[in-house]
Chains A and B, each alone.
Chain A
Amino acid sequence: MAKLSTEKLARAEMLSSNEDAIAISEMNKWFGSFHVLRDINLSVKRGERIVVAGPSGSGKSTLIRCVNRLEEHQSGKIVVDGTELTSDLKNIDKVRSEVGMVFQHFNLFPHLTILENCTLAPLWVRKTPKKEADEIAMGFLEKVKIPEQADKYPGQLSGGQQQRVAIARSLCMRPRIMLFDEPTSALDPEMIKEVLDTMIELADDGMTMIVVSHEMGFARQVADRVIFMDEGQIVEQNEPEEFFNNPQSERTKLFLSQILGH
């Protein structure tokens, strides 16, 4: 136990000396007249792993979708890797090339094979030569442990395999930050582990990650920080140990008792 905490201390120290990968300040967003995100302040260090939890409708997905501009924020500031997200298309392209995203429903391209799914963006967005793109893609497919499926179509794979392909597809663009939007929520229970294992491996490689998830085991094991959101606001954030053992706000306590209670 003591060893673990010194390890954690060292890691916290290392992180605090790192620069910000993402800096969000006083950010607000509305859907029509509905105030989805309220006064969000959040900075993420390079190499940091953050898990965002909260009841449905609390704005967690919207928050990470703002980070790569799938959703537009209306006020405040989001700076990703030194580039501020404005309506300037150049900046948006730059940020998107730095940030990979994995979706709840995988969103693989069903008309392309697994390998083509992985090489499409490198070929057409990055202009990587075909041979090199294939090699990179096979490398990442091996990393997520499904190189033998490269010539199949997404529809022929299980949910867990599809999600691992989606992770590999993102990695092929060599992102410095990865966003995960409830990556295991659409999976059958027996497939959740294979996806989480892939994500843990990715975390061990030092990837900056923001994960929206209800997998509290994953949060305990991997996260440097857990953020709890409710009604569009950050209600509480803490180290996982503290967050789970000693929640401060009533709302957090209630949420934890509901998802951990049975």
Chain B
Amino acid sequence: MRNVSFVRSEMLAEQTPPLTSIGVIGWARENLFNGWFNSILTVISLYIVYSFLSFLIPWVLTPTWKATSLNECREINTALTGHHSGACWGVITERWPQFIFGFYDRSILWRPILVFVLFLATIAPILFERVPRKLFLLGPVFPFLAVWLLWGGSIWSPVFSFLGLVLGYLVWRSLKERVNAVILLLSSIGVPIIWWMFLTEPASGLLAEIIPYEIQILPSRDFGGLLLSLTIGLTAIFCSLPIGIFLALGRQSDLLIVKVLCVWFIEFIRGVPLITLLFVASTLLNIFMPPGTNFDIIMRVVIMVTLFSSAYMAEVVRGGLAGLDSGQYEAANALGFSYWKAQRLIIMPQALKISIPGIVSNFIGVLKDTTLVSVIGLFDPIGLTTVVLADMRWNGVYWELNVFVALCFFVFCFSMSRYSMYLERKLRKEN
């Protein structure tokens, strides 16, 4: 029999690896010059990187900031460096207010700025736990305040619109214990809608005559730039999440009609390009409206973008719902939870957590898709680039304009993306 027993008598000391396998040289040998084929590839790649940088670096390093036309910019650049490859940021220095606010009256820019600050204050308590909870009270007021500040007009229309919300809440509270969930939902949504459609305007008109107080009105065609994109994008984002949740639930419902309606809606919207919906909003919708109605173009676009995004949101949320174990529903039922309570307390918190990456991707997509409104003649940042390029002085500054627009969107999209990662990390800690 072979002897297989073995006992180590002394332990080996740790040794340093051979020099050629560590450090810069080792790394380069391993990754860049590993055989003649890889060496050639490395040299070619280096050349491509070099030619790209040789264009980019002067563009970044020798910019001009103050030129008032493309020609002037090139002259300054040539005088300075002997060639004219530097960036002409003069166009941005001159036009950036337009890219942010569009044609909004320059004397009242404090209004959109205030709205943006209020917006940040409103979402802060939703985003971060350490923010004072009292800021939640801004939530219901903000939409009405924002519309009033942005478009202007009589103080009474936002006040009375807000009263509609209060009315809905009162209906909900008084009926809560008495009727079933569907009637409760319908009546507490229906009553405010009736209020808004038939009573808000006459009532606020009446009060405006008695106690007139109004701020300067701004027509929707003055909206533009980032202001327009954010107005459309953020409204669509915040409306489409709840609508998407209800659509996802409807799609899984046992009630046949609800289910069929939701499936058709989702499949129809997802089957149609956003541009067609925007064209419907900008032109066709007027044909169906009774003559004389003035249905605001931004409002129409917001509705279309919201519908579009909520269909996608519904599918993302449905994915989250499908990821849940059916045992969760059974446990909720066995403990006596009603459908809505189970959804709110048990199912949705888990389903939404699973869908966070998808939901945020969708948010980012919506914000970027708002640039499509340039096709129907609204001046979002992309639409404004054509305006600027039409100016003889600036004809040809594609790079600077597009880089600037890209940067504007990048700030918002990247923060959303980082926030989603932060949220995922935070929620993962919990379990």
What 1/0 mask marks residues of chain A from 61 to 98 whose CB sits below 8 Å from any chain B CB?
00000001110000000000000000000000100110
A110 proximity list for chain B (CB < 8 A): 350, 431
**A100 interface hit (Cβ, 8 Å):** yes
What 1/0 mask marks residues of chain B from 300 to 326 whose CB sits below 8 Å from any chain A CB?
000000000000000000000000010
Partner pick for A70 among B328, B330, B350, B431, CB 8 A cutoff: B330
**B117 interface hit (Cβ, 8 Å):** no
What 1/0 mask marks residues of chain A from 169 to 205 whose CB sits below 8 Å from any chain B CB?
1100100000000000000000000000000000000
Q: Nearest chain-A residue to B333 (Cβ)?
A: A70
B residues 336-373 in Cβ contact with A at 8 Å? 336-338, 341, 345-346, 349-350, 353
* Chain B interface, number of residues (Cβ within 8 angstroms): 19
A68 proximity list for chain B (CB < 8 A): 333-334
Chain B CB within 10 Å, residue with most, of A68, A109, A170? A109
Chain B CB within 10 Å, residue with most, of A96, A124, A170? A124
**B331 interface hit (Cβ, 8 Å):** yes
Partner pick for B431 among A107, A155, A169, A170, CB 8 A cutoff: A155
Asked if residues A105 and B327 are in contact (CB atoms below 8 Å), the reply is yes
Q: Tell me, rounded to whole Å, the shortest Cβ–Cβ distance linking A66 to chain B.
A: 13
What 1/0 mask marks residues of chain A from 139 to 160 whose CB sits below 8 Å from any chain B CB?
0000000000000011110000
Measured between alpha carbons, how far is A108 from B345 in the docked complex, in Å? 13
Q: Nearest chain-B residue to A122 (Cβ)?
A: B335
Q: Tell me, rounded to whole Å, the shortest Cβ–Cβ distance linking A169 to chain B.
A: 7
B349 proximity list for chain A (CB < 8 A): 111
* Chain A interface, number of residues (Cβ within 8 angstroms): 28
Asked if residues B325 and A107 are in contact (CB atoms below 8 Å), the reply is yes
**B430 interface hit (Cβ, 8 Å):** yes
Asked if residues A121 and B333 are in contact (CB atoms below 8 Å), the reply is no
Asked if residues B325 and A173 are in contact (CB atoms below 8 Å), the reply is no
Asked if residues B334 and A101 are in contact (CB atoms below 8 Å), the reply is yes
Measured between alpha carbons, how far is A126 from B333 in the docked complex, in Å? 14
Measured between alpha carbons, how far is A155 from B349 in the docked complex, in Å? 16
Asked if residues B345 and A107 are in contact (CB atoms below 8 Å), the reply is no
Q: Nearest chain-B residue to A120 (Cβ)?
A: B345
Q: Tell me, rounded to whole Å, the shortest Cβ–Cβ distance linking A70 to chain B.
A: 6
Q: Tell me, rounded to whole Å, the shortest Cβ–Cβ distance linking B125 to chain A.
A: 20
Asked if residues A121 and B330 are in contact (CB atoms below 8 Å), the reply is no
**A125 interface hit (Cβ, 8 Å):** yes
Q: Tell me, rounded to whole Å, the shortest Cβ–Cβ distance linking A111 to chain B.
A: 5
A107-B325, A109-B346, A110-B431 given; A124·B330 CB < 8 A: no
The number of residue pairs between A and B whose CB atoms lie closer than 8 Å in the complex comes to 64
B325 proximity list for chain A (CB < 8 A): 105, 107
Asked if residues B336 and A109 are in contact (CB atoms below 8 Å), the reply is no
A120 proximity list for chain B (CB < 8 A): 335, 345-346
Q: Nearest chain-B residue to A123 (Cβ)?
A: B345
B350 proximity list for chain A (CB < 8 A): 109-111
Asked if residues B336 and A107 are in contact (CB atoms below 8 Å), the reply is no
Asked if residues B330 and A96 are in contact (CB atoms below 8 Å), the reply is no
Asked if residues A125 and B334 are in contact (CB atoms below 8 Å), the reply is no
Q: Tell me, rounded to whole Å, the shortest Cβ–Cβ distance linking B336 to chain A.
A: 4
B residues 205-250 in Cβ contact with A at 8 Å? none
A120-B345, A154-B431 given; A109·B331 CB < 8 A: yes
Q: Tell me, rounded to whole Å, the shortest Cβ–Cβ distance linking A4 to chain B.
A: 35
B341 proximity list for chain A (CB < 8 A): 124-125
Q: Nearest chain-B residue to A105 (Cβ)?
A: B327
**A244 interface hit (Cβ, 8 Å):** no
A154 proximity list for chain B (CB < 8 A): 431
Partner pick for A124 among B328, B331, B337, B353, CB 8 A cutoff: B337
Asked if residues A96 and B334 are in contact (CB atoms below 8 Å), the reply is yes
Q: Tell me, rounded to whole Å, the shortest Cβ–Cβ distance linking A98 to chain B.
A: 9
A107 proximity list for chain B (CB < 8 A): 325, 327-328, 330-331
Asked if residues A96 and B331 are in contact (CB atoms below 8 Å), the reply is no
**A103 interface hit (Cβ, 8 Å):** yes
Measured between alpha carbons, how far is A110 from B335 in the docked complex, in Å? 16
A173 proximity list for chain B (CB < 8 A): 335-336
A169 proximity list for chain B (CB < 8 A): 335
Measured between alpha carbons, how far is A169 from B350 in the docked complex, in Å? 19
Q: Nearest chain-A residue to B335 (Cβ)?
A: A121
Measured between alpha carbons, how far is A121 from B336 in the docked complex, in Å? 7
B333 proximity list for chain A (CB < 8 A): 68-70, 96
Partner pick for B334 among A70, A105, A106, CB 8 A cutoff: A70
Q: Tell me, rounded to whole Å, the shortest Cβ–Cβ distance linking B327 to chain A.
A: 4
A110-B350, A120-B345, A153-B431 given; A103·B335 CB < 8 A: no
Measured between alpha carbons, how far is A71 from B337 in the docked complex, in Å? 16
Partner pick for B331 among A97, A103, A111, A125, CB 8 A cutoff: A103
A-B interface, 8 closest residue pairs, ranked by CB to CB distance from nearest: A107-B327, A107-B331, A101-B334, A121-B335, A153-B431, A96-B336, A155-B431, A125-B336
A–B complex contacts, Cβ < 8 Å, 22 sampled = A96-B333, A96-B335, A96-B336, A100-B334, A101-B334, A103-B334, A107-B325, A107-B328, A107-B330, A109-B331, A109-B350, A110-B431, A111-B349, A120-B335, A120-B345, A121-B337, A124-B337, A124-B341, A125-B341, A155-B431, A170-B335, A173-B335
Chain A residues proximal to chain B, CB less than 8 Å:
68-70, 93, 96-97, 99-101, 103, 105-111, 120-121, 124-125, 153-156, 169-170, 173
